[in-house]
Amino acid sequence: MIGAGNNINLMLGSKISRYIVVIALLILAVLWVFTSSITDDSQAGFREREAGYRTVAAVSSVIVLLVFSLLLFMTVKQDRISAARRESEELFARAFINAPIGMALVSPDGRWIRVNEQLCRILGYWELELLALTVQEVTHPDDVDVNAYLRRQMLAGEIENYSVEKRYCHKSGKAILCQLTASLVRDSQGKPVYFVSQIEDITERRQAEDALRLANDFLERKVDERTSELMAMNGELEALNEELQRLTLADGLTGIANRRYFDEYIEKEWRTELRQQKPLSLIMADIDFFKSYNDTYGHQSGDDCLTTVARTISNSIRRSTDMAARYGGEEFAVVLPYTDLDGAMQVAETIRKQVEDLRIENRQTEGGYVTISLGVFSMIPSAQESPVSLISMADKALYQAKHAGRNRVMTGSRDMIQPA
């Protein structure tokens, strides 16, 4: 189309050029005839004006050439503008017709001016059927006013385009969810001519999005349920682990710490006090004449006695860092971190007195009740020694307490407190 327009312009240009040359020659011929017909008498005067006539002829020729050149330029420019407009309109028409989405030109009063095949396919109408209807007639009743405000804004020049989701009515009666994008074309005076509407069917996309959202919601619920179940199971496992830990570290009969926990704890505290160079004390205790008590009152009474004494020893210590344990048989141990010998002796005497005050019958003892003997030792740990040293010295003190008559507290070197 553009090449053809250029050929036409060239043809028009060559014709106008020939016309200009012919007119210039005619002007010169008229001037020549006029000068030839003048008499001899007048020729003298005419020759005087000959130079002026020639100047007029030349100026006239130039003016004619300029006028026709201007006409030629305007003609060529107009032809090029028209060709460009025709090409633009053809491109728009091809894009309009072949668009993969619905396209329509809509009048400002809401009537279809032109529709493409895809829009007819979306709405289920033949082209002539659709053109006979208004936009409102194929709009879902609930969505008639969806874009009314935006249309008014666009007509008022407040916005250039807009995009909204809107439902249309298919010829069969079903609702079609579409994405509407609209812009407004105005004439040279700014008067609205028509809306350009792009209408895309998003029904399947929305259904897929809804299905995906439902699937995500379902999965989230399942994850939350499973998470809650796992948290509950985790809580149960933690409780079981705590119970297992307690059972692992607690004595099965008395409920206080067992020998295994005692060994771990005194080793840990030994390292701590070694690092800080603080005193660590140990009380070793043994129920007096327990074998005779067991033989006299039976094993069940013996177990009850062990449990009662263990609970009394455990209740006699107050600090969270202090620890009472069943060392073995009827023997118990109390670890007292950051405690010197005087403090440990006071704790030991408290234990001895509280056990005696239980008044558990034992005819094998001097006073007729269950009593306890205790050995105490305190030291600041050193790198040359180990917890075995502390245990050994406390155990020797316990032996001295028993050898000295039982029901008493003794340290490794002297009898600190006599029974009341």
Task: Provide the 3-class DSSP secondary structure of residue 96.
Answer: helix
* Banded pLDDT at 21 (limits 50, 70, 90): low
What is the 3 state secondary structure string of 201-241?
A: ECHHHHHHHHHHHHHHHHHHHHHHHHHHHHHHHHHHHHHHH
Alpha-helix residue ranges (DSSP H) falling in 250-386: 259-276, 290-297, 299-316, 341-356
Model confidence pTM above 0.75: no
Instruction: Tell which residue, 161, 163, 154, 162, has the closest CA to residue 190.
Output: 154
CA separation for the pair 411, 420 (Å, rounded):
18
Binned at pLDDT 50, 70 and 90, residue 418 comes out as: very low
How far apart (Å, rounded) are the C-alpha atoms in residues 105 and 194?
6
Give Dmax over CA atoms of the chain in angstroms.
188
- Which tokens in the block code for residue 66? 């300029």
Determine contact, residues 406/316, Cβ cutoff 8 Å.
no
Q: Give me the numbers of helices (H) and strands (E) for the chain, helices first please.
A: 11, 10
Other C-beta atoms lying within 10 Å of the C-beta of residue 249: 17
- pLDDT, residue 44, reads 54
Query: Which strand (E) or helix (H) includes residue 257?
Result: none
Answer yes or no: are the C-beta atoms of 200 and 206 closer than 8 Å: no
Is the model more confident about 77 or about 322?
Answer: 322
Strand partners, 200: 179
pLDDT surpassing 90 at residue 346: yes
Q: What is the pLDDT of residue 392?
A: 93
HEC letters along 1-69? CHHHHHHHHHHHHHHHHHHHHHHHHHHHHHHHHHHHCCCHHHHHHHHHHHHHHHHHHHHHHHHHHHHHH
What number is the average pLDDT over the span 266-285? 96
Q: Is the pLDDT of residue 197 over 60?
A: yes
- How far apart CA 392 and CA 383 sit, in angstroms, is 17
Instruction: Pick the most confident of 33-47, 73-87, 303-317.
Output: 303-317
At 126 the pLDDT is 93
223-232, 260-269, 395-404: least confident range: 223-232
Rg of the Cα atoms in the chain: 59
**Is 1 a residue whose pLDDT tops 50?**
no
Scanning the structure block, which residue is given the tokens 């069917």? 201
**pLDDT score for 86:** 72
Burial of 351 (0-12, 13-18, 19+ CB in 10 A): buried
pLDDT higher than threshold 80 for residue 11: no
Say if CB 326 and CB 254 are below 8 A apart.
Answer: yes
Residues identified as active-site: 330
pLDDT digits (tens, 9 = 90+) for 359-378: 999 987 888 899 999 999 99
pLDDT at 188 over 70: yes
CA distance 313 to 356: 12
Q: What is the pLDDT of residue 12?
A: 47
pLDDT at 96: 79
- Percentage of residues in the chain with pLDDT exceeding 70? 78
Q: What is the pLDDT of residues 134-160, one digit of tens each?
A: 998 999 999 888 888 888 888 888 888
The 3-state DSSP class for residue 253 equals coil
Contacts of 257 (CB under 8 A, 6+ apart): 249, 250, 251, 265, 323, 324, 325, 326
- Both structure tokens of 395: 């155990």
Q: What is the DSSP letter of 252?
A: T
Mean pLDDT calculated for residue range 308-330? 94
Give the pLDDT band (50/70/90) at residue 9: very low
Residue 10 in this model has a pLDDT that exceeds 60:
no
56: pLDDT confidence band, cut at 50, 70 and 90?
A: low
Joined together, the tokens standing for residue 184 give: 């407004």
Query: Residue 176 and residue 165: Cα distance in Å, rounded?
Result: 10
Average pLDDT, the chain: 83
Look at residue 38 in the predicted model and tell me its pLDDT.
Answer: 52
Instruction: Give start and end residues of each alpha helix (H) in 142-187.
Output: 148-155
